[in-house]
Amino acid sequence: MRALPGAALALAALLGVSAATLEVHVASGSVSAVEGQRAVLPVWYTSASRKTPYVTWLLHQAGADPFQILTYLDGTVKVEETFLKPRVGFLHPVTSRNLSVLINGTRERDSGQYVCTVNVPDDGAGGGRNVGVVNLTVLVPPDAPACRLHGSVAVGADVTLSCSSRKGKPAPAYRWRRAAPVAQVFFPPVQDGAQGTLKLSNLSTDMSGVYVCVAENRAGSATCNVTLEVFSGSNAAVIAGAVLGSLVGFGLLVFLGLQLRVYRRKKRDGQEEVANEIKEDAVAPKTLSWAKSADAASRSSTPSLAPGASARPGGSRAPSETASILGAAAAAGPANGVPGSQGRRQLPAASLTRMGAVAVMVPAQSQAGSLV
Ligand SMILES: *[C@@H]1O[C@H](CO)[C@@H](O)[C@H](O)[C@H]1NC(C)=O
Ligand SMILES: *[C@@H]1O[C@H](CO)[C@@H](O)[C@H](O)[C@H]1NC(C)=O
Ligand SMILES: *[C@@H]1O[C@H](CO)[C@@H](O)[C@H](O)[C@H]1NC(C)=O
Ligand SMILES: *[C@@H]1O[C@H](CO)[C@@H](O)[C@H](O)[C@H]1NC(C)=O
Ligand SMILES: *[C@@H]1O[C@H](CO)[C@@H](O)[C@H](O)[C@H]1NC(C)=O
């Protein structure tokens, strides 16, 4: 019997060694989840004791005191009153010794340092091995960015395209590219991936096209685009043509008025065939409507762009009449010398014919051209 205390001491010494068997294991000290998805903080423990453990999960967030979110005390799970309450719980029965926490529908504010502390009666671990720490980072994919164009879209000018998402964690990186058919990618310093800007200097007409911005982070990506339509000297000529068109229209009315008097006089003389000729010439209303739409074009020379919007005033579905004249004017561009030289451009003869211009209006044309 006297030997018992000694045996007890020996047993205590053995228990002291076995006390070191409690150990909390963490599969990953850093977990990330995309906002809205579920997150699992993988923690379990090993112990020589079969006693019911005491478990607490705490959340440490920057600038706030740590608070308890989940406990297992005296064999009972308790979810604390926190913003996590409806979404948090143990993933496995605690008796399985797997203490992993599940968080449903993660939100950005769930991010933080989650600390699991385990105590098992008869098994006191030292040195912090009864604590498991998991950092949770909730990632937010970028929302649809806003693409904008800043500056004048005239030949020789500089513009900055900007792209920005309101949401995104970590902060999205931005990449600009030019869409087909003239696919092109950009690099610093022209492109600023953090700010989302693309600087296009000394614009030329061949820089016109669709520019696409991709905002991207680890959680996802989103895009927007702008259509850049660089206005050149030949576009200026079209605007000059618009002014000219109204002059022609006005001139034609005067001309028709005069002709009408001649017609009336001649009708009195019984010369009917002149009347038919005058009817064929009467295209003035058509010319005037074209002049009006092109005039509207000249008013909006610095458009502000909505995502996906076209920089070309009036959109890409211009009236076919206008489109063909634009085409004709652009085609006439290189033949007229240095691209980008402003004003003083002659409209192609074909356009003038379409507009119903007559020889008598040619002096007015150069006058209108110099106005621009
Ligand atoms: C977890 O977050 C804390 C505080 O932000 C940091 O000190 C620690 O290094 C992080 N641990 C891991 C594994 O990322
Ligand atoms: C505990 O559960 C987590 C999550 O289900 C799992 O990843 C881990 O492997 C489990 N640990 C053990 C020891 O089974
Ligand atoms: C999380 O969601 C799953 C599936 O919707 C559900 O079975 C589980 O009970 C939820 N857990 C918590 C803690 O809300
Ligand atoms: C702008 O571009 C034109 C034609 O491409 C070129 O002749 C001119 O030197 C450029 N100007 C500057 C400042 O780079
Ligand atoms: C530009 O954006 C519009 C509208 O968001 C989209 O329909 C179009 O496909 C985009 N164009 C390109 C080249 O990405």
Q: List pLDDT tens digits, range 70-106.
A: 999 999 999 999 999 999 999 999 999 999 999 999 9
Report CA-CA distances (Å) from 119 to 36, 49, 188, 287. 33, 11, 55, 91
Ligand 4 atom index nearest CA of 156:
1
Which residues constitute the domain of residue 210?
A: 146-233
Same domain, 159 and 133: no
**Residue 111 domain-assigned?**
yes
Q: Please tell me the distance between residue 106's alpha carbon and the centre of ligand 3 in angstroms.
A: 12
Least confident of 140-149, 179-188, 314-323: 314-323
Residue ending a domain, choose from 139, 164, 194: 139
* CATH classification of the domain holding 65: 2.60.40.10
**Residue 251 domain-assigned?**
no
Write down the H helix ranges in 269-361.
Answer: 273-281, 284-299, 320-335, 349-354
Same domain, 92 and 216: no
Whether 76 and 128 have beta carbons less than 8 Å apart is answered as no
* Tens digit of each residue's pLDDT (9 = 90 or more) over 134-170: 999 999 999 999 999 999 999 999 999 999 999 999 9
Mean pLDDT of 172-177: 97
Same domain, 133 and 37: yes
Q: How far apart, in whole angstroms, are the C-alpha atoms of residue 277 and residue 300?
A: 39
Site to probe by mutation for ligand 1, drawn from 61, 114, 135, 136 as the one with most ligand atoms within 8 Å of Cβ, is 135
The mean pLDDT of the chain is 72
Q: Please tell me the distance between residue 227's alpha carbon and the centre of ligand 5 in angstroms.
A: 9
If you take atom 7 of ligand 3, which residue's CA is the nearest one?
Answer: 104
Ligand 5: which residues within 6 Å by Cβ? 179, 210, 212, 225, 307-308
pTM: 0.60
Same domain, 133 and 153: no
Q: Does residue 204 line the site of ligand 4, with CB under 6 A?
A: yes
Residue ending a domain, choose from 105, 139, 173: 139
Q: Please tell me the distance between residue 40's alpha carbon and the centre of ligand 2 in angstroms.
A: 10
Cα angle 8, 13, 16 (rounded to 5 degrees) comes to 125
Same domain, 22 and 110: yes
Ligand 1 atom index nearest CA of 60:
4
Strand runs (DSSP E) across 179-312, as ranges? 184-185, 191-192, 197-200, 209-217, 220-228
Same domain, 26 and 67: yes
**Residue 171 domain-assigned?**
yes
Ligand 2 atom index nearest CA of 99:
1
DSSP strand pairing (131-139 vs 30-34): parallel
- pLDDT at residue number 122: 82
Same domain, 134 and 161: no
**Residue 241 domain-assigned?**
no
pLDDT band for position 234 (cuts 50, 70, 90): low
Residue with tokens 């799970």: 77
**Residue 248 domain-assigned?**
no
Q: In terms of pLDDT, which residue wins out, 284 or 165?
A: 165
DSSP strand pairing (209-217 vs 173-178): antiparallel
**Residue 277 domain-assigned?**
no
Mean pLDDT of 289-296: 39
Same domain, 151 and 118: no
Q: Does residue 137 line the site of ligand 1, with CB under 6 A?
A: no
Q: How many domains does the chain have?
A: 3
Residue 62, pLDDT above cutoff 70: yes
Q: Please tell me the distance between residue 202's alpha carbon and the centre of ligand 4 in angstroms.
A: 6
Same domain, 79 and 105: yes
Report percent pLDDT > 90 for the chain: 52
Ligand 3 atom index nearest CA of 103:
13
- pLDDT at residue number 232: 78
- pLDDT at residue number 266: 57
Ligand 1 atom index nearest CA of 62:
5
If you take atom 4 of ligand 5, which residue's CA is the nearest one?
Answer: 308
Ranked by mean pLDDT, the top range of 18-32, 171-185, 302-316, 318-332 is 171-185
Reduced to 3 states, what is the DSSP secondary structure of residue 271? Answer: coil
Q: Does residue 30 line the site of ligand 1, with CB under 6 A?
A: yes
Q: Which residues contact 305 (CB under 8 A, 6 or more apart)?
A: 147, 148, 149, 226, 227, 311
Same domain, 150 and 132: no
Mean pLDDT of 280-288: 40
Same domain, 202 and 170: yes
Q: Please tell me the distance between residue 308's alpha carbon and the centre of ligand 5 in angstroms.
A: 6
CA 304, 310, 312, 318 dihedral sign is negative
**Residue 115 domain-assigned?**
yes
Same domain, 111 and 84: yes
**Residue 274 domain-assigned?**
no
Residue ending a domain, choose from 198, 216, 233: 233
Residue 174, pLDDT above cutoff 60: yes
Ligand 1 atom index nearest CA of 29:
13
- Write out the two tokens for 143: 């929302």
Q: Which of 262, 314, 256, 259 is nearest to 289 (CA)?
A: 314
If you take atom 8 of ligand 3, which residue's CA is the nearest one?
Answer: 104
